[in-house]
Structure formats: structure tokens, C-alpha cells
Structure 1
Amino acid sequence: MQITSYLKTKTVQIAAWIGFLLAYLIASTVFSLAGDYTNDILKARHVLGIGFVLTAIALALIAWRYGQQLKKHNPRNIGRTKVTRKVIYQFLLILLFMMIFQMFWSWLISQHILVLPENQKAVASETVQMPLWNGIFAIVLAPIFEELIFRGIFMNYFFNKENRLNNILAIVISGLLFGFAHELQFDANWLMYSALGCFLSFTYMHFRDIRYSIALHFLNNLLSII
């Protein structure tokens, strides 16, 4: 009975996690579609409005579920970490390592060792079409969505026991899924995205506060676009 109950719980959690991911993807897709109607301002505004509504609903749902998760089951004591000088130094150190990694990745692309990922091409194209709104989505909204889904909800659904093995597995598996969400084929760029995901997962696990992984994700996207 215990095994059956466990499998049923995990099946429901997997389905729910996929549902949250789909809600985010649908909202972001509709939002970006407004760029296809730049020659028709009225239609672009209508599509953009629908995108805003779907984004608000999806974000509210995912944030609510994350909060409910922590109230019901929070073995890692995730919450709000007190901001101290030590915490700030640690955060900046992680940011520095992440930026060094990003520069190395950019260098590999500039040397034609790796090709520019399709995800980055799409983001760049959408930003050109609607620089303000797509910039806001890519820099501000996407980090919140992705951290709640790939770090917050995922790590509280799966590998959620407070021990070293589960913590390591949570960081690595979350990073790999993050990589696959940005690069749909198993290649070098998938590994690079996965490594970025692991940076973010480590940040969430280290500080036990999702605000830090969101902030790191925000800064990474900002610096990548500038």
C-alpha cells in the first residue's frame, strides 16, 4: 500500500509540475506573439493584453502553489534568509563565477566552437520586435516563473529530503531539466544551459530563499541582453 500511495503521489506531482510548466510556456508564447503584429498596432495590443492576463494568472497560480507547498511540507526550512554582509558577499561571489562561465560560453560561440543557441536567437528576435515588453518578460518575469517552477516547486516535489544525496540530486536534476527547457537537444549548448541551471539550483539550496536565485537569474538575463 505504501508503494502504491507513493507512486500515486509522485504521478500527481509530475503531472502538476508539467502543468505549471505548460502554463508558463503558453503565457510566454501568447505574450511573444504580439511581436508578429507590429504592423497592426490594434491587434498587437489585443494579443499583448491577452498575454498579460495569461501571464498574471499563471504567475499567481504558480506562486500560490509554491507558498502552499512550503506551508504543508518544508523539510529544508525554505523561507526568507536574513540579508547580512556575509550573505551579500556569498551572493556576489556566485554571480562572479556565473559571469565568468557566461563569458567562457560567449567566447566558445565567438570562436565558432559552439553555435549560438536557438533560444538566444529567439529571445534576440523577439526583443527587436518589441524591445520594451519582451525585455521586461525576459529580464523580470521569466526569472520569477522559472525559479518558482524549476527550483521552488520542483525541489519541494522531488528529492525533498534534507540530506546531502537528495540535495545534490535536486541541484543536478533541476539543472538538467532547466537545460532541456532551453535547448531541446542533447548537445554542448544543453550542457551549458544545464550548468547555468545548476548555478541557480545551488544558489536556491545554499540560501534556502528563492529570492536569491531569482535575483541571480534576473542579473544573468540582464547582463546577457545588455
Structure 2
Amino acid sequence: MWIGFIFIYLVDTTILSLATSQAKTQPLRVNHTIGILLIYSALLLAFISWRYQKQLQRDNPKHIGRTPFTGGRFLQLLALFVLMYGIQMVWGILISQHVLSTPANQTAINQQVMLLPFWNQAYSIVFAPVIEELIFRGIFLNYFFRSNQRWVNFLGVFVSGLFFGMLHVMSFSPTLIMYSALGWVLGGAYLHFRDIRYNIALHFMNNALSLLL
């Protein structure tokens, strides 16, 4: 079942890739494809959000809900963002020193942004964080790792982070570890705050930083 969510998400990204390729070869068809993308994305987000809420209503041993936003939690969120930024910095240094190669996923995103800047940036910064957090943290952790025992939570964060990494790089390599590390931070944030909105905000800031700097 969970694989189905990944599939329908990949369909969405495929539509965006099609629109991007059309920007170079068939510019008159881009608006039509973007319209399809917006309709599909809205339906996808509505469906996955509904499924996530239904899952929590049926079984919620981790007590996931809405955590009040406070100054203390803002500082905690900021600290997690700094941690993710630190991972990105180390990653960048390893790439500049030719220890690691630039991820093919990031190269493809950069190329797509050059061809169709607004929609690719909007998708990566605004839409992707919402849908990926609902799939990888929300639905995955609450479906496969329902118990609130510490070891179950630890295992859930580890596995969900690993799958998150594999979505971005389809090979077992040091780059997979770097992507997974970002996923582990996001998984830890989900279990710490018990509120998917904090994850979405954290993911949003990370993607914005990666694309805009």
C-alpha cells in the first residue's frame, strides 16, 4: 500500500519533468502540461492528507496532533535546521574536495530549474516538502512503526530516513548516507514535536536554502 503513495508521487514529478522538457522543445504546450500538473498535485495532496488524517483517527499511539507553537519550540526547530544546514555544508565540502560526486538528483534539479525556473522552484520549495513529509514521516512511521516504544521509534526513524535517501539516489553509496542523514533529522523532528507541520516547515527551509543559495 505504501509503495502506491510513492508511485502516485512519482507520477506527479514526471508531469513536471515533461513540462520542463517541453519548455525547450515545445514551449506552446507548457501551459497545458502545467495545468495538468496543478490539478493532479491538488488531488494528490488532498488524497494523501485525507489518508493521513484517517490513519491518525483510527490508530494514534504516538499521540500525533497539533503541538502549540512556542518560543522554545521555535528555537528547537531552528537548531534542527542548523543541524541540517551543517550536513549540507559537510556534504558540499566533500564534493568540492572530490571525495563525493555531485548527486545526479541535484544536477537534474538544477538543470530543470534553468529550463523552467518558477514552477520547478515552487514545486521543490512548496509542494515537495508537504507531500514527502506526509508520505515518509506521517504515513510511513504511523503505519509500519505504530508502537510508541523507544526502540520502535528509533528503528522507524532509521528505516524511513533510509527510504527517503533511496528516493533521491537509487544506489548504495556515500551520497545515500548524506540524503538519509537529512531524513533521520526529519524523522527525529517528527517524533520530537509530534506534529507534521514542524516537519513541513523544516523541510521547506532546507529545500529553499538548497535551491536559492
Counterparts of 1:176-215 in structure 2, within 5 Å, are 176-215=162-201
Contact 1:31/1:50, CA 8 A, preserved across alignment: no
Match of 2:42 in 1: 56
1:26 aligns with 2:11: yes
The match for 2:55 is 69
Identity level (%) = 47
Q: Deviations over 1:62-94 (max 9, x none)?
A: 111001011111111101111111111111111
CA distance in 2, matches of 1:220, 1:84: 21
Give secondary structure in 2 for the equivalent of 1:80.
Answer: coil
Over 3 Å off, 4+ runs? none
Distance in 1 separating the partners of 2:87 and 2:166: 18
Q: Is 2:33 the partner of 1:47?
A: yes
1:126 aligns with 2:122: no
Matches within 5 A, 1:97-112: 97-112=83-98
Q: Partners in 2 of 1:216 and 1:144 — Cα distance?
A: 10
| Structure 1 unpaired stretches of 5+ | 1-15
Query: Would you say how many aligned residue pairs link Structure 1 and Structure 2?
Result: 211
> What displacement does 1:44 show?
1.0
Name the structure 2 match of 1:3: none
Structure 2 residue runs of 5 or longer lacking an equivalent are none
Q: Is the 8 Å Cα contact of residues 28 and 55 (structure 1) preserved in structure 2?
A: no
Please give the TM-score of this superposition, normalised by the length of structure 1: 0.91
SS at structure 1 position matched to 2:159: helix
| TM-score computed with the length of structure 2 as normaliser | 0.97
Q: Which moved more, 1:148-157 or 1:38-47?
A: 38-47
Q: Are residues 1:113 and 2:99 paired?
A: yes
Q: CA RMSD in A?
A: 0.9
- Once residues 169 and 31 of structure 1 are traced to their aligned partners in structure 2, the CA distance between those partners, rounded to angstroms, is 33
**Counterparts of 2:87 and 2:20 in 1: how far apart (Å)?**
31
